Amino acid sequence: MHNHNSSSIKKNSAKRQRTYDFGDIVGLKVSDVDRTNTSSTILPCKIIDKYVRNGEFIYTVATKDGIIKEHFDSLTFLDLTTANFGSLRAINIDELPTITFIQASQIYTNFKSTETCKCFEMHRQCYGWFRRKSEVRILFVRWPKR
């Protein structure tokens, strides 16, 4: 009985999943990655590849800044196929670098750290790394003003 219920749930969920085609525009929620972002921002992406894994479609997407390394299922996307993203539709993916979803989100939201490295405050050469609550963030390498 358990296997029957499990398989019928999977069938019903597969019916609800939207399938996307190459070139479709979809959105990914940036707030799912960037917890410091208080507003919900949608990262527009273009479907550039799809394949089947365990009976589900898995998609590769690209932004105007790069091809996102991670792969996503259709439940992750917001449907933006009717939205007008002409520049995104026209991108040449052969010239794009591979980036992570976090990098794409930070580029799209113009991410800037609000903290200053202690090296910089003490007028020493900054090597660009500092720790905060067990997170490692990268800062730009800056030489102190003299």
Q: How far apart are CA 88 and CA 86, in angstroms?
A: 5
Task: Say whether both 117 and 84 belong to one domain.
Answer: no
Task: Say whether both 45 and 101 belong to one domain.
Answer: yes
- At 135 the pLDDT is 40
Q: How many domains does the chain have?
A: 2
Q: 119: domain range?
A: 113-146
Rg of the Cα atoms in the chain: 20
The residue written with tokens 């997170």 in the block is 135
Task: Say whether both 33 and 88 belong to one domain.
Answer: yes
Task: Say whether both 66 and 22 belong to one domain.
Answer: yes
Half-sphere CA count of 57, side-chain side, radius 13 A = 21
Task: Say whether both 8 and 49 belong to one domain.
Answer: yes
Task: Say whether both 39 and 67 belong to one domain.
Answer: yes
Task: Say whether both 74 and 85 belong to one domain.
Answer: yes
Q: Which residue has the higher pLDDT, 16 or 82?
A: 82
- At 99 the pLDDT is 94
Span 95-109, mean pLDDT? Answer: 89
Does 33 have pLDDT greater than 80? no
Residue 17: CATH number of its domain: 2.30.30
- At 110 the pLDDT is 78
Q: How far apart are CA 41 and CA 34, in angstroms?
A: 10
Task: Say whether both 100 and 40 belong to one domain.
Answer: yes
Tell me the whole-structure pTM to 2 decimals: 0.62
Task: Say whether both 92 and 132 belong to one domain.
Answer: no
Q: What are 7's two structure tokens?
A: 């398989």
| Mean pLDDT for the chain overall | 74
3-state secondary structure of 128: coil
Task: Say whether both 103 and 146 belong to one domain.
Answer: no
pLDDT band per the 50, 70, 90 thresholds, residue 78 = very high
